[in-house]
Amino acid sequence: MKLLRYGPKGHEKPGLLDPAGQIRDLSDHVADIAGAALLPETLRKLASLDPSTLPPVVGGPRLGACVGAVGKFVCIGLNYSDHAKETGSPIPKEPILFAKWTSAIIGPNDDVEIPVGSEKTDWEVELGVVIGQGGRNIDEAQALDHVAGYCVINDVSERAWQLERGGTWDKGKGCDTFGPIGPWLVTTDEVPDPQALGLWLEVDGHRYQDGNTSTMVFGVRTLVSYCSQFMSLQPGDIISTGTPPGVGLGCKPPVFLRAGQVMRLGIDGLGEQRQTVSMAK
């Protein structure tokens, strides 16, 4: 299934994308694509529905983040060896964890704002892992049983604030609009191998990133298990799994986003995002 949320900001409704590309309303079956709706038993019930019997959504509504009421937005740093190399960093011996604040979350095609005072706002296409069945100290062999599905994430980053202002990376990662998620959550039955997905990102039509999840340092199984050692994972939590090479910071000379530019990014089978860059007021 391809689950989604549509409608005005703050008033999104649950939906799914049918095989013909038509959005269908799920409001009679779940309140939101969030929390308990992502548990295995609920996903099985939704999968049993005949999409043609669900009300079609007319027009072209705005898409919100494909997961609502996100509790934790956990990110993994330097998880592609070639990305670590382009930033001059060693390959991690253990996953690097940091957080994006949930106030950063926006829809897949909403504007991304350059924060006031920023000079080094950058892009990062990433595979997002959405937790279904929660847990702690999850065994790696069972880790994928705890995944509801996958989505596209743009881990927008302010590099000066991330790397030059002291402390943790978080201050350069969680600005408002720095977390586009979607367009849809694709359930695990449609993603047989999360370690075999091409992912890419373009700015104004120039392709900067063109990678594959097969080159992750730590795969999805490992990341779910690892994160669960340090926090309880709960339905609707998101793990953003790192980015391949081609970020603006790694260009020579570095290239950063400017107002008016357009980012396009996508992952095989998970859809595409498109964001216009603007200046925050």
Q: What is the pLDDT, as a whole number, of residue 167?
A: 84
Over the chain, what is the mean pLDDT? 97
Is pLDDT larger for residue 173 or for residue 81?
173
**pTM of the complete model:** 0.97
Name the residue among 66, 214, 211, 76 with its Cα closest to residue 148: 66
- Give the model confidence (pLDDT) of 58-73 as tens digits: 999 999 999 999 999 9
Contacts of 240 (CB under 8 A, 6+ apart): 73, 74, 75, 76, 100, 126, 127, 128, 129, 153, 155
Q: What is the pLDDT, as a whole number, of residue 165?
A: 92
Q: What is the pLDDT, as a whole number, of residue 83?
A: 81
At residue 89, does pLDDT exceed 90?
A: no
At residue 157, does pLDDT exceed 90?
A: yes
Residue 81 binned pLDDT confidence (cut-offs 50, 70, 90): confident
Percent of the chain scored above 90 by pLDDT?
95
Q: In whole angstroms, what is the distance from residue 197 CA to residue 157 CA?
A: 23
- Give the domains, in start order, of the chain with CATH numbers: 2-53 (no CATH), 73-279 (3.90.850.10)
Q: What is the pLDDT, as a whole number, of residue 84?
A: 80
